[in-house]
Amino acid sequence: MTGVDEVMALEQAPPKAPPAGRPPAPGGLGRVQAFVNTIDLESGTDELDRPEALATWLVDHGLPGGDCSLGDGDLARARAVREAVREILGGNAGHAVDPGAIALLDDTAVAAPLAVTFGLGARPTLVPAGRGLDAALGALLADIATAVADGTWTRLKTCRNDACRWAYWDGSKNRSGAWCTMAVCGNRMKGRAYRRRRRADAGDTGSD
């Protein structure tokens, strides 16, 4: 198989499964990661395909609101927040962040107030003060705020493959990870870069 054949085969590989071998983000940040990854953008498969599925997901991940009656409007709002979080995770990967995503999260925070509580260790903790889906979204925003405070937030990124944008935990020492998995997205993007160079070389007239 030639080099061109190899990169073409990589480009035509089937849609990826969730990356194997990468540990999930720690603590509450893992819950944020799981929320963003409820949809596979490449295949279009969405775990949150109906209000009942959203309620089940909330319960399974220890979030409030799953025992409430959720409707289509709640589902649409949860999905919108999911994509806004994906957008700001792109900022951790070096991409510009759409101001609209920031505005949506600001509006979500207003509707999902948080309170500070002190546990047995007298350690302050952010907890949702709202009800229903607002409480669940507030808990996810609290997870993000806690991760920012403890310095782990910038390690949660989205894959630089624009067709993928899967959320992954960058555990590299220098925080230089770029792909959800090198074996799939990394090789696909390298294949595209290779073909671009080949086309550029083919267009070189050798006038130098």
Q: Could you read off the pLDDT of 52-72 as tens digits, one per residue? A: 999 999 999 999 999 999 999
What is residue 12's predicted lDDT score, i.e. its pLDDT? Answer: 36
Q: Is residue 94 part of a domain?
A: yes
- The residue among 178, 180, 155 whose CA lies nearest residue 167 is 180
Mean pLDDT rounded to a whole number for the chain = 82
pLDDT of residue 62: 96
203 assigned to some structural domain: no
DSSP β-ladder status, 167-169 and 39-40: unpaired
Beta-carbon contacts of residue 178 (< 8 Å; ≥ 6 apart): 93, 159, 160, 186
- Report if residue 80 sits inside a domain: yes
Q: Residue 99 corresponds to which amino acid?
A: P
Q: Is the pTM of this model over 0.85?
A: no
Residue 42 lies in a domain: yes
Q: Is the pLDDT of residue 198 over 60?
A: no
* pLDDT band at residue 204 under the 50/70/90 scheme: low
Provide the residue range defining the domain that includes 111. Answer: 24-159
Of the chain, the percentage scoring pLDDT greater than 70 comes to 75
Residue 7 within a domain: no
DSSP 135-160: HHHHHHHHHHHHHHHHT-GGGEEE-S
122: left (phi over 0), alpha (psi -120 to 50) or beta: left
Query: How does pLDDT run across 39-56, given as a tens digit for each residue?
Result: 999 899 999 999 999 999
Domain assignment present for residue 73? The answer is yes
Among the listed residues 24, 61, 27, the one whose alpha carbon sits nearest the alpha carbon of residue 149: 27
The answer to whether residue 175 sits within a structural domain is no
The neighbouring-strand residues paired with 116 are 126
Residue 125 sits in a domain of what CATH number? Answer: 1.10.3300.10
Q: Does 202 reside within a domain?
A: no
> Angle at the Cα of 54 (from 49 to 56), degrees rounded to 5?
120
| Closest-CA residue to 66 (of 1, 131, 126, 140) | 131
Q: How confident is the model over 117-153, as pLDDT tens digits?
A: 998 888 899 999 999 999 999 999 999 999 999 999 9
How many domains, the chain? Answer: 1
> What is the per-residue pLDDT for 173?
79
